[in-house]
């Protein structure tokens, strides 16, 4: 495309409607849909007469690609969340929405390293069942719980984060009681 200025009248139409139509034919449907919005915004800002039509078309095309990429990322995150939630349900037996799974992970990362996570919270964060957690504790491949009372235990956030960094290679270090 040649960088040629298209003089645009206050009404929003180009002096050469034929050149504008030819320009619009080269754009994707999403960019063509964005074109009138941009023209209206530039007209409202009173700078439409000074804008190069080819640059405006390039902007509309780039914006359309950006919107498409954003939609693809959103679909990918939704797919990941749904799959993550289904995997969590299969492993723990508890139904959990993708939003709940994401909130659990975010919450645990924002907590103080010495904070304590209870068993159900740990199960949601790591996706392992109660039986698997205690089997791995016994084998030394999962952090040991901290006794909170006669019948309650929890895990340090820092220990769970260390486990999540490399679950396959994790080896528990014995802490003095």
> What global pTM score does this model have?
0.39
pLDDT in tens, 51-66: 787 888 888 888 888 8
Give domain limits for the chain.
1-92, 97-165
H helix count then E strand count, the chain = 7, 3
For residue 174, pLDDT beyond 90: no
Compute φ and ψ for 102, nearest 5 degrees. -65, -40
Q: Report the share of the chain in percent with pLDDT over 70.
A: 69
What is the pLDDT at residue 106? Answer: 42
C-alpha 62/C-alpha 75 separation (Å) is 20
C-alpha 123/C-alpha 130 separation (Å) is 7
pLDDT in tens, 72-126: 887 777 766 654 444 444 455 555 555 455 445 545 456 777 888 899 989 988 8
């Amino acid at each position: 495309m040649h960088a040629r200025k298209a003089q645009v009248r206050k009404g929003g139409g180009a002096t050469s409607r034929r050149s504008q139509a030819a320009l619009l034919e080269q754009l994707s449907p999403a960019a063509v849909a964005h074109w009138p919005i941009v023209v209206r915004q530039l007209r409202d800002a009173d700078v439409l007469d000074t804008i190069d039509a080819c640059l405006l078309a390039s902007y509309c095309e780039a914006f359309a690609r950006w919107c498409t990429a954003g939609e693809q990322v959103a679909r990918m995150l939704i797919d990941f969340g749904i799959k993550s939630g289904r995997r969590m349900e299969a492993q723990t037996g508890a139904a959990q929405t993708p939003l709940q799974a994401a909130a659990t992970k975010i919450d645990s990362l924002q907590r103080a390293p010495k904070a304590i996570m209870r068993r159900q919270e740990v199960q949601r964060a790591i996706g392992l069942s109660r039986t698997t957690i205690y089997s791995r504790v016994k084998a030394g491949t999962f952090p040991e719980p901290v006794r909170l009372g006669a019948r309650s235990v929890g895990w340090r956030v820092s220990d769970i984060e260390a486990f999540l960094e490399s679950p396959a290679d994790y080896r528990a270090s014995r802490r003095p009681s």
